[in-house]
Amino acid sequence: MVDYLVQYLDHLSHERRLSPLTRENYQRDLRVLLELNGEVPLQNMTGTHIRRHVATLHGRNLGGRSIARMLSAWRGFFEFLIQRHGFSANPCQGIRAPKSPKSLPHALSPDQAVQLVSIDDEDTLAQRDHAMLELFYSSGLRLAELVNLDLDALNLGEGTITVTGKGNKTRIVPVGQHAMNALQAWLAIRSGLPIQDTSALFLSRLGKRLSRRAVQYRLQQWAIRQGINIRVHPHMLRHSFASHVLQSSGDLRAVQEMLGHANISTTQVYTHLDFHHLAKVYDSAHPRARKK
């Protein structure tokens, strides 16, 4: 079974050319399948086994979305086994994950977002973090997209940056003036670091490409220092970018393009955020909505 897994992961890397992060996610989800499966040979698995695994995961309080992601990974694995190893059927076919209650992504208010990214450039790392957080909020990047940015992705003349997102798809997104100013200030001092990764846009103190964990830690530290009294994570800046642009423009298609969503239904969650914002304004401002 482990040999099948290794072959499939190689297929994802070399034939489908998925990113290392996506490959890691597949590997994690498929190892869960092997762990749940025990001694049952993969070729003997049926829909009954998969339903039992889904029930087990649900009993562990795993959410519907996580289970759906796992089922997708398992389904793709069995399709590979059918095509390459003569398996007769896909036991995951037609099986759905339990539904999860819909929850809106958390976003900062515009004032909170501005407060967070308004960092005094007191030292080299502060200048780097200022540029990094301004870019996060300015362009709605994913964490993996930000840390993988290279110097040549930034076009200072046009005020854009080329981003490689999910599925190795590239898109060009605008960079706001505040972010451009912060990036130019960072680039001016970046060369003074002991550079080990010459291509990376954002570097650690030692000159290596900044890791995702380091970005998460620095963001949390800045949120505390800037007086943001909620837990802030990188994806919250992406949510904030999307909801604030949509509130100002109402252009769902443009937000979809900038976020790099393949399906506009993924972007439509921000219309609910926008309505939530409008409802709060109504409740606080309309004379007939005020409580006596």
Provide the terminal-to-terminal Cα distance of the chain, rounded to the nearest Å: 67
Can 53 be counted among the known catalytic residues? Answer: no
Place of tokens 């999307």: 242
For tokens 């362009």, name the residue: 139
pLDDT of residue 106: 77
Q: Which of 75, 166, 178, 233 is catalytic?
A: 166
Q: Which residues contact 200 (CB under 8 A, 6 or more apart)?
A: 149, 150, 151, 208, 209, 210
Catalytic residue (one of 190, 238, 239, 244): 238
Residue 99 designated active-site: no
Whole-angstrom distance, CA of residue 140 vs CA of residue 243: 10
Residues 8, 26, 137, 270: which is the catalytic one? 270
Domain boundaries, the chain: 2-85, 110-284
pLDDT at residue 255 in the model = 65
Q: Which two tokens stand for residue 268?
A: 């439509």
Whether 235 is catalytic is yes
Residue of 171, 178, 261, 277 marked catalytic:
261
User: Which of the residues 49, 128, 130, 142 is marked catalytic?
Assistant: 142
Torsion-angle region of 232 (φ positive above 0: left; ψ -120 to 50: alpha; else: beta)? beta
Whole-number pLDDT of residue 194: 86
Structure tokens at 276: 């939530």
Locate 141 and state its tokens: 């990047």
Q: Does domain 2-85 have CATH number 3.30.750?
A: no
Q: Residue 278: what pLDDT?
A: 45
The CA distance from 17 to 195, in Å, is: 29
Q: Are 244 and 259 spatial neighbours (Cβ–Cβ below 8 Å)?
A: no
Asked if the domains 2-85 and 110-284 are classified in one and the same CATH topology, the answer is no
- Size of the chain in residues: 292
User: Annotated catalytic, 270?
Assistant: yes
**238 part of the active site:** yes
Whose structure tokens read 């759906």? 68
- Examine the residue annotation and report whether 290 is marked as an active-site residue of this protein: no
From 58, 209, 235, 277, active-site residue: 235
Q: Is 280 exposed, middle or buried (0-12, 13-18, 19+ CB in 10 A)?
A: exposed
pLDDT (tens place) for every residue of the chain, 292 residues total: 668 899 999 999 999 988 888 899 999 999 999 999 888 889 899 999 999 999 999 888 888 888 999 999 999 999 999 999 999 999 999 998 887 665 555 778 888 989 999 988 778 999 999 999 999 888 888 899 999 999 999 998 888 989 888 878 888 888 888 999 999 999 999 988 888 989 999 999 889 999 999 999 999 999 999 999 888 888 888 888 877 776 666 666 766 667 766 665 555 555 555 445 545 544 555 454 555 4
Q: Per the CATH hierarchy, to which homologous superfamily does domain 110-284 belong?
A: Intergrase catalytic core (1.10.443.10)
- As beta bridge partners, residue 160 has 155, 174
pTM of the predicted protein model: 0.60
